[in-house]
């Protein structure tokens, strides 16, 4: 619930606060599935040490033992001698977020803050936040005024009542290209005499075949072929897409068989991968953005960190893929699928981000938060990078892919499929 609130709060920051560029992110999102692995046994030991429970020094109240450990003795001797408030782990960052907002925005976030279990008392008692408990916003957009039952709206959604969100956009804001129809004169192309004689019939003009038709013909020709050794640059064909779709159930069955044994090992592998990337300064603040952009390439990398690569190879080999070939085909299919199913609103959102529509607002944030927002923007755009011809190839399979993703709840084992 706290995570949900933070996302809502960042949305409000964008709406209420009307470029510095961060370092290149390509190296962060690039997935090297054949990287040299670290010593996995060392990282397993680190994970084990991190998960150790506190040793209380005795096995039960009936077997207390004869001596206290020094550390445990210090704890019980000092207990109750001092009093201090334990700070919540998220408190400083949440206070920083709230500090950016004008006081008028508190009425949209305060009621939900009071409903978040375990919310810091320091935050709940902030002037302006304290007074919003169980209080409906006074300032709402005209679209909602007089709407029956609006007062029963969940506090988590109060931010959509902000008038700023519903302000009419100017044509310049929409960034629509202005199209102007031009009347082109019709030009007849006369055939040379030697061609007329060769054809044997009088033809006044040559019939021109547009270049787009030639491309479509070439596209239709290769749609019925599998691409040998698929990569990020080879053509994506309909047969490739069909083969990938056929593997979805196989991959899920492989991960969940034997009481989810492989899935559990993938979770450990994911933790080790994240730990390794943290140590090597290649992790993002929100590292699962990498999984969202390239879910299948990251999944294959996790099979290597889980010592499951060979076992996974046997699964995708049933459709003629190596793990790397499967990952490339999967990620390119999913990106094309996102584009093919995107609504007009989503298309404009991608365009806004791609053209830096929000950079003016993001540059006003403190450097830490500015860089995080640039990273999220970059990841969002990368999710929808696909060639037009690949989108057209995937388009006929939209319903079939949707059915598969709904069946697996949009998560391929540890890989989230967001669209």
pLDDT grade for 358, boundaries at 50, 70 and 90? confident
Residue 231: CB atoms within 10 Å: 11
Q: Which residue would you say has higher pLDDT here, 300 or 219?
A: 300
pLDDT grade for 168, boundaries at 50, 70 and 90? low
Residue 174 scores a pLDDT above 50: no
pLDDT grade for 16, boundaries at 50, 70 and 90? very low
Using a pLDDT cut of 90, give the percent of the chain over it. 44
pLDDT of residue 313: 96
pLDDT tens per residue, range 208-221:
445 554 455 455 44
pLDDT of residue 355: 84
Residue 348 scores a pLDDT above 90: no
Q: Are 104 and 139 in contact (CB under 8 A)?
A: yes
Mean pLDDT of the chain: 80
pLDDT, average across residues 212-240: 74
Residue 199 scores a pLDDT above 50: no
Q: What is d(CA 415, CA 419) in angstroms, rounded to the nearest whole number?
A: 13
- Among 100, 109, 104, 140, smallest CA distance to 4 is for 109
Question: Which residues, other chains included, contact 19 with Cβ-Cβ below 8 Å and sequence gap of 6+?
Answer: 356, 359, 360, 362, 363
pLDDT grade for 279, boundaries at 50, 70 and 90? very high
Residue 418 scores a pLDDT above 90: no
pLDDT grade for 166, boundaries at 50, 70 and 90? confident
pLDDT, average across residues 375-403: 93
And the tokens for 132? 């919003």
pLDDT of residue 63: 65
pLDDT of residue 57: 61
Burial class of residue 283 (count of CB atoms within 10 Å of its CB; 0-12, 13-18, 19+): middle
pLDDT, average across residues 7-22: 41
pLDDT grade for 200, boundaries at 50, 70 and 90? low
Q: Which residue would you say has higher pLDDT here, 1 or 327?
A: 327
Q: Which residue would you say has higher pLDDT here, 368 or 70?
A: 368
pLDDT of residue 118: 85
Residue 416 scores a pLDDT above 80: yes
Residue 205 scores a pLDDT above 60: no
Residue 163: half-sphere exposure toward Cβ, Cα within 13 Å = 8
pLDDT, average across residues 261-267: 93
pLDDT of residue 25: 83
pLDDT tens per residue, range 52-96:
665 666 666 666 666 666 766 776 676 666 556 667 777 888 888
Least confident of 20-34, 68-82, 352-366: 68-82
Q: Are 332 and 294 in contact (CB under 8 A)?
A: no
Q: What is d(CA 129, CA 113) in angstroms, rounded to the nearest whole number?
A: 8
pLDDT of residue 361: 79
pLDDT of residue 54: 57
The b/e string for 37-47 (b: 16+ C-beta within 10 A; e otherwise) is eeebeebeeee
At 63 the three-state DSSP class reads strand
Domain ranges, ordered by start, for the chain: 91-167, 230-342+384-416
Residue 407 scores a pLDDT above 80: yes
pLDDT of residue 322: 96
pLDDT of residue 179: 44
Least confident of 93-97, 182-186, 286-290, 315-319: 182-186
pLDDT, average across residues 173-202: 48
The b/e string for 193-219 (b: 16+ C-beta within 10 A; e otherwise) is eeeeeeeeeeeeeeeeeeeeeeeeeee
Q: Are 141 and 162 in contact (CB under 8 A)?
A: yes
pLDDT, average across residues 348-377: 84
pLDDT of residue 274: 93
Burial class of residue 354 (count of CB atoms within 10 Å of its CB; 0-12, 13-18, 19+): middle
């Amino acid at each position: 619930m706290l995570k949900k609130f933070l996302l809502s709060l960042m949305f409000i920051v964008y709406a209420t606060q009307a470029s510095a560029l961060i370092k290149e992110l390509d190296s962060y999102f690039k997935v090297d599935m054949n990287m040299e692995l670290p010593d996995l046994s060392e990282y397993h030991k680190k994970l084990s040490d991190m998960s150790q429970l506190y040793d209380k020094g005795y096995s039960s109240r009936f077997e207390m033992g004869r001596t206290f450990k020094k550390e445990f003795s210090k704890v019980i001797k000092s207990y109750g001698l001092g009093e201090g408030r334990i700070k919540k782990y998220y408190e400083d960052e949440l206070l920083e977020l709230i500090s950016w907002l004008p006081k008028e925005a508190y009425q949209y976030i305060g009621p939900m803050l009071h409903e978040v279990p375990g919310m810091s008392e320091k935050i709940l008692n902030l002037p302006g936040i304290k007074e919003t408990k169980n209080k409906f916003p006074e300032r709402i957009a005209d679209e909602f005024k007089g709407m029956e039952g609006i007062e029963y709206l969940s506090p988590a959604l109060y931010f959509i009542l902000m008038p700023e969100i519903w302000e009419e956009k100017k044509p310049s804001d929409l960034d629509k290209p202005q199209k102007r129809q031009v009347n082109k004169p019709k030009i007849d192309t006369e055939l040379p005499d030697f061609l007329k004689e060769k054809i044997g019939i009088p033809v006044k003009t040559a019939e021109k075949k547009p270049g787009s038709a030639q491309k479509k013909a070439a596209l239709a020709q290769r749609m019925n072929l599998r691409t040998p050794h698929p990569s990020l640059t080879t053509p994506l064909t309909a047969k490739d897409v069909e083969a990938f779709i056929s593997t979805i159930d196989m991959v899920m069955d492989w991960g969940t068989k034997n009481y989810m044994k492989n899935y559990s090992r993938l979770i450990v592998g994911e933790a080790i991968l994240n730990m390794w990337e943290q140590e090597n300064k290649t992790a993002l603040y929100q590292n699962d953005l990498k999984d969202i952009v390239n879910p299948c390439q990251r999944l294959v990398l996790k099979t290597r960190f889980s010592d499951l690569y060979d076992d996974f190879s046997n699964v995708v080999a049933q459709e003629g893929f190596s793990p790397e070939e499967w990952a490339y085909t999967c990620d390119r299919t999913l990106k094309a699928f996102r584009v093919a199913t995107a609504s007009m609103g989503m298309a404009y959102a991608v365009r806004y981000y791609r053209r830096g529509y929000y950079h003016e607002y993001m540059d006003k944030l403190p450097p830490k938060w500015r860089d995080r927002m640039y990273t999220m923007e970059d990841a969002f755009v990368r999710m929808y990078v696909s060639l037009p011809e690949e989108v057209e190839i995937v388009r006929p399979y939209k319903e079939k892919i949707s059915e598969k993703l709904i069946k697996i709840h949009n998560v391929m084992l540890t890989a989230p499929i967001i669209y």
